[in-house]
Amino acid sequence: MTTLLVGAVTCIVVYGFVFWLSWLAFALVLRQYRIGSTATTASLVTGIAVLVSILSAWRKHDPFQNVQGMDQRVQNLQMGLGYATGIPIVNRQSLAGIASLLIGGPANIMDAIAVWRTRPHTDASTLEAADRLLRASRQGAAPSISTERNAVALLYRLGLIKAVQQGDSIMIQATAKGMELLGSG
């Protein structure tokens, strides 16, 4: 839920800013290029940004993949030229940062949906079996795993147990997180 909320808030803030900036540009500078009203044109620009961002997030595109750090002297020269001319100098690093902002919200929402779809389904009997298995795993026991598959999957997914091979058998042991949970209960 946190990932979904962060993604939604990021989308609202970033695409709201894109809409506002587009509206401002088409209201003040680019009047002759408007399609209908200023709000309509700004909505079209924002919609295109949303679609491209969703597609990039779907493809798991990393904007910083082939971008290297800039030499400090070159960066200082570009900043100085930008200040002197009043026109900001746009480079690959800043474009990658902007692309990362645009992709971040949809990527978080897609991650939240993926986590929600793969969550383990549990009922009361599975939770009881998971509790028994976690308590038994404190000593490294191997209770009847075949009857408690869902409990094993739940505890493993939560990072509370791990499988350790001892000879020909596999034992289930509590992880540090599992031991901490057992100690607090």
Structural domains of the chain sorted by starting position, each given as residue range(s) with its CATH number in brackets: 2-117 (no CATH), 124-184 (1.10.10.10)
Residue 183 in this model has a pLDDT that exceeds 60 = yes
Q: Report the percentage of the chain scoring pLDDT > 70.
A: 95
Q: Name the residue with higher pLDDT: 11 or 142.
A: 11
Residues 6+ apart with CB under 8 A from 159: 175, 177, 178
Quote the pTM value: 0.64
pLDDT at 108 (0 to 100): 93
With a cut of 90, say whether residue 21 has pLDDT above it: yes
- Quote the tokens at residue 181: 């949970």
Distance CA 62, CA 93 (A): 13
* Residue 15 scores a pLDDT above 90: yes
Judge contact between 59 and 78, C-beta under 8 A.
no
pLDDT score, position 171: 80
Q: What is the pLDDT of residue 33?
A: 85
Judge whether 26 and 33 are in contact, CB under 8 Å. yes
User: What's the pLDDT score for residue 49?
Assistant: 94
143 pLDDT more than 60 = no
Can you give the pLDDT at residue 120?
Answer: 76
Determine the average pLDDT of the residues in 154-181. Answer: 83
Q: With H, G, I as helix, E, B as strand and everything else as coil, classify residue 164.
A: strand
| Beta-bridge partners for 144 | none
Least confident of 53-67, 89-103, 139-153: 139-153
